[in-house]
Amino acid sequence: MDEYYVRLGGRRGGYLALSIIIGIIVLIFLGRSIKIVQPGYVGVRVLFGKVVEPTLKSGFHVINPFTTLLRMTVRTQAYTMSGISREGKIRGDDAIAALTKEGLRVRLDLTIWYKILPNKAGEIYETIGLDYEDKILRPAIRTVIRDVTSQFTTEDIYAEKRPQVTAAIQEMGIAMLEERGIICEKVLVRNVSLPDKVRDAIDAKLAAEQDARKMEFVLQKAEKQAEVKVVEAGGIAKAQAIINRTLTTKYLQHEAIDAYRELAGSPNTTFIIMPTSTEGVGIPIIIGQ
């Protein structure tokens, strides 16, 4: 009897150990099957060395336990190429040197805002890898900048047409990157560096043009003022001609008497001697206190 219980206990212990092992295996499989993709990311599944489509969106997912899940950001990212050390992705001077339409060399600092298309994340990982910035984004933008700057003069890039240059870079960048699953949201040309002599010459020319525009404005203003004075003079001349035609001796006498009455009522007037001219319009003598 004791031998029977020993055997039974041994079997139960074996079943318990087996159950524990099976439970652990199930937990491991569940742990590998249940995945969470955080907001701003997508999940790329890789099974036995092959990318499995479709890409998983953010949230809770149950996947094949033998699948490896890679999380790739789909948020807007910034890639900067700058001549200032430690400012861009590449340490040191990373400004882009390019030739203008005249063959002069300029250096541009810029930042690109971009993000990857969520439904293209699997394709990007499979065909490019996670280092798509170095393999695709950087070479594409540098090529675009050199192509665009060759179509503009140095003065255009440095001054008046910089917005058009930026727009052209952005337009070409969008077309080149979109086919690789990358969206170019905005290009920011932050600085344009020129050789000192070229920059000074352009600044002097711009200053001269500004002075010329200012002088032109002054001349136009003077012409307008002269035209106003001519019109005013013409109006005065017409008024005087009308007055000369309508003035009479009696009217002038009446006006003079009214003026004398006002002077007589003034507190500062002591005597008023009325004129004795036969016309009645002589100049009065006013004696004050």
The three-state secondary structure class of 86 is: coil
The three-state secondary structure class of 106 is: strand
pLDDT on residue 193: 78
* C-alpha to C-alpha distance for 229 and 92, rounded to whole angstroms: 66
State the DSSP code for 282. Answer: P
pLDDT on residue 65: 82
Q: What is the DSSP string of 29-93?
A: HHHHHEEEEPTTEEEEEEETTEEEEEEE-SEEEE--TT-EEEEEE-S-EEEEE-SSTTTSSSSS-
**Residues written for the chain:** 289
* C-alpha to C-alpha distance for 224 and 222, rounded to whole angstroms: 5
pLDDT on residue 287: 47
According to CATH, the topology of domain 77-194 is Tetrahydropterin Synthase; Chain A (3.30.479)
Angle at 229 between CA 226 and CA 230, to 5 degrees: 85
Q: Provide the CB-side half-sphere exposure for 129 (13 A, CA).
A: 4
pLDDT on residue 196: 57
- Residue range(s) in the chain whose domain bears CATH number 3.30.479.30: 77-194
The tokens of 95 are what? 């400004």
pLDDT on residue 59: 87
Assess contact for 92 and 99: CB atoms under 8 A. Answer: no
> Radius of gyration of the chain from Cα atoms?
46
Query: If we measure between CA atoms, which residue out of 58, 76, 151 comes closest to residue 114?
Result: 76
Can you list the alpha helix ranges (DSSP code H) found in the chain? 2-33, 121-127, 132, 138-149, 154-158, 162-178, 196-246, 249-264
The reply to whether the predicted model has a pTM over 0.75 is no
What values do phi and psi take at 272, rounded to 5? -125, 120
State the DSSP code for 57. Answer: -
One digit per residue, pLDDT tens: the chain, 289 residues?
A: 555 445 545 556 566 666 667 767 666 666 667 788 899 999 999 988 888 888 889 888 887 888 888 899 999 999 998 888 777 777 778 888 888 888 888 888 889 999 999 999 999 999 999 999 999 999 999 999 999 988 988 777 777 788 888 899 999 999 999 989 999 999 998 888 776 555 555 555 555 555 555 556 555 666 666 666 666 667 666 766 666 666 666 666 666 666 666 766 666 655 555 555 555 455 555 444 5
In the chain, the amino acid numbered 246 is T
